[in-house]
Amino acid sequence: MGVTCSIRRTLEETMPTFHPHRRPTGRATTALIAVVVAFMTTACGATIDRNVEAGRDALGNTGAVTAGHPLAAEAGLGVLRAGGLAMDAAITAAAMLAVARPHMNGVGGDTFLLYYDSATNLTYALNGSGRSGSAKTLEELKADGLERMPGAGPLSVSVPGSVGAWAEGLRRFGTISFAQALQPAIKLATDGLPVSERLAEDIAGAEAKLRREPEAARVFLPGGAPPQQGSILPRPDLAETLRTLQEHGPDELYRGALGAKVVRFLQERGGLVTHNDMADYLPEWTQPISTRYQGLEVLAFPPNTQGVTLLEELALLQQVDTDLAGLGHNSADYLHTVSEVIRLAFVDRDSEIADPKVMRVSVDDLLDDARIREMASTIDPSGRAPVLRVEAAEDHPNTVYVIAVDQYGNVVSLIQSLFATFGSGLVVPDTGIVLQNRGSLFTFEEDHPNVFARRRRPFHTLCPVIVLSNDRPWLAVGTPGGDGQTHTITQVLNNIRLFGMSPQEAIDAPRLRRLRDGSLAIEDRVPQEVRDALEARGYTVHARSGWTAEFGGAQAVLIDQVAGRRRAGADRRREGWAVAY
């Protein structure tokens, strides 16, 4: 990325300054779009190499952006340099990721974000997840011979919420327009996406799924084969879709001709989403949930996400041992303790978390102090692995994450996803829109709160986080990784808070992932003697070599509340990128 320094100088010299509470207009608007697009034109040809250290440990006094792709992070930083706010940068980066990571997120997916507003010292949560379709009831699906919700295909598709969430975030806390935020993404889609090593691997891994759908194969297997590293993946259909949204606004997807095209395609395939389901969609502002941990207040997203699962893990850790650091970083005692709190929290997650309107218990019930103390009393840091009879399950770690921190101290922690690789496997013809498969997470068990019903939000694994110290942002952190998101966040947070690491050191440090069958995937940079000790306790340990996406793709920005510095880190296990100024 040798062009980055010169591009940043250009951005600094030519970006206009925007008032933090007024939308830019006229020449300022034109300059913003022109300069960000100029950056995109130059940077798109750069080669992405996971071994290059640029985009890792970034330090700045004014603003910082991390994102799941270098081009998205740099586009977001360009917006901050122009005087834009954290929300402006985050939504610009999110739209870029819809092009740059097409198998993980996009116009057909969902978005969640936390926003800390420095003007009011309050944190807000925006739920951009869509609801299930209403074309059929659970009884009708069972009458069709279904025993469970399919993992792909039209029945797995729920209303896509990302576009509405982007627009709503900007409306309430942005200074640039929805149209402006889309422009860098439109430029990238028009020029075509440079295929990185990681993207080439991911598309090749999904080749069989793509070949099952002619439109998916046409778009992502150009010439009949997965694109090669260094080639350009053309995205003219997506570019035209984004231009349509730019011209007509987000309602075009939900109430306009574009939305009608999506619904018609799904209905022709027997899907559940109707015109009214799309037209009635609205993103929802709500309040984050929190717990105290190691002298901090950790804010997470409420149900229908697994944010409460993260908080439960942290609350349990706080009770198990008040001196967690004394166990030793990545010692057998420490990793066993982390594994156990994950196990206990996931029992609650898998049995109780759903659309909050139908949950049987509240967040307060799950985090009740007496209950947490009782659960924590069952964990012995020097104990043995529990005996489980649970089968391994497929995971879907296909998600992207963004952090933006601006000059005023506003913070966005944003995450969005299609769920599985290429979501439902369906691409709406002539639009480039990949449709998510979040509906596949519904169960058909009628006594379970996450049972399928019409117009219901499905359970989500997405887990954006902001951590406060003295009521002000100290850390923003998050990761893709499906079920493993809470595992990664817990370890990265502990690495920073308990073990004194920088964000980049905390992300680079080897970590574990507890698998659904109770076995442990552990990176082989954890010493052999520790892995042997865990096996001696009864664990099955799967040593993983290299830097694999199985362990997530964490990003973090640490905010020095005295000096004002922002220090950002991003994970080399994926294409995460950290920039600051």
Q: What is the pLDDT of residues 126-180, one digit of tens each?
A: 999 999 999 999 999 999 999 999 999 999 999 999 999 999 999 999 999 999 9
How many CB atoms are located within 10 Å of the residue 509 CB? 18
122-136, 144-158, 380-394, 534-548 — which is least confidently predicted?
A: 380-394
pLDDT above 70 for 390: no
Q: What is the pLDDT of residues 270-291, one digit of tens each?
A: 999 999 999 999 999 999 999 9
Using CA atoms, how far apart are residues 103 and 571, in angstroms rounded to an integer? 19
Label residue 369 by pLDDT band (50, 70, 90): very high
User: How far are the Cα atoms of 21, 195, 473 from residue 169, in angstroms, in the given order?
Assistant: 14, 30, 19
- Cross-strand pairs, 400: 416
- Mean pLDDT, range 64-92, rounded to an integer: 98
Q: What is the pLDDT of residues 287-306, one digit of tens each?
A: 999 999 999 999 999 999 99
The pLDDT value given to residue 392: 59
DSSP-assigned states of every residue in 104-138: T-STTSEEEEEEEETTTTEEEEEEEPPPPP-SS-H
Rg (CA), the chain: 22
The pLDDT value given to residue 306: 97
- Cross-strand pairs, 512: 522
- Mean pLDDT, range 553-564, rounded to an integer: 95
Is residue 503 within 8 A of residue 568, CB to CB? The reply is: yes
The pLDDT value given to residue 396: 55
- Mean pLDDT, range 534-551, rounded to an integer: 96
pLDDT above 80 for 38: no
> To 5 degrees, how large is the angle CA 258–CA 260–CA 262?
75
The pLDDT value given to residue 325: 96
Q: What is the pLDDT of residues 62-75, one digit of tens each?
A: 999 999 999 999 99
pLDDT above 50 for 50: no
257-261, 318-322, 350-354 — which is least confidently predicted?
A: 318-322
pLDDT above 90 for 360: yes
The pLDDT value given to residue 31: 44
pLDDT above 70 for 45: no
- Mean pLDDT, range 53-70, rounded to an integer: 94
Label residue 509 by pLDDT band (50, 70, 90): very high
How many CB atoms are located within 10 Å of the residue 377 CB? 10
Using CA atoms, how far apart are residues 444 and 221, in angstroms rounded to an integer? 35
Q: Is 470 exposed, middle or buried (0-12, 13-18, 19+ CB in 10 A)?
A: exposed
The pLDDT value given to residue 397: 62
Mean pLDDT of the chain: 91
The pLDDT value given to residue 13: 35
The pLDDT value given to residue 321: 83
Is residue 534 within 8 A of residue 334, CB to CB? The reply is: no
Owner of token pair 């941990």: 293
Residue positions counted in the chain = 581
Whole-number percent of the chain with pLDDT over 90:
88
- Mean pLDDT, range 1-29, rounded to an integer: 37
Domain ranges in the chain are 286-396+462-574
Owner of token pair 């297997």: 221
- Mean pLDDT, range 473-477, rounded to an integer: 98
Using CA atoms, how far apart are residues 22 and 32, in angstroms rounded to an integer? 15
Label residue 404 by pLDDT band (50, 70, 90): very high
Token pair of 253, please? Answer: 């997807």
How many CB atoms are located within 10 Å of the residue 429 CB? 15
Return the CATH number of 286-396+462-574, one of 1.10.246.130, 3.30.390.10, 3.40.50.300, 3.40.50.460: 1.10.246.130
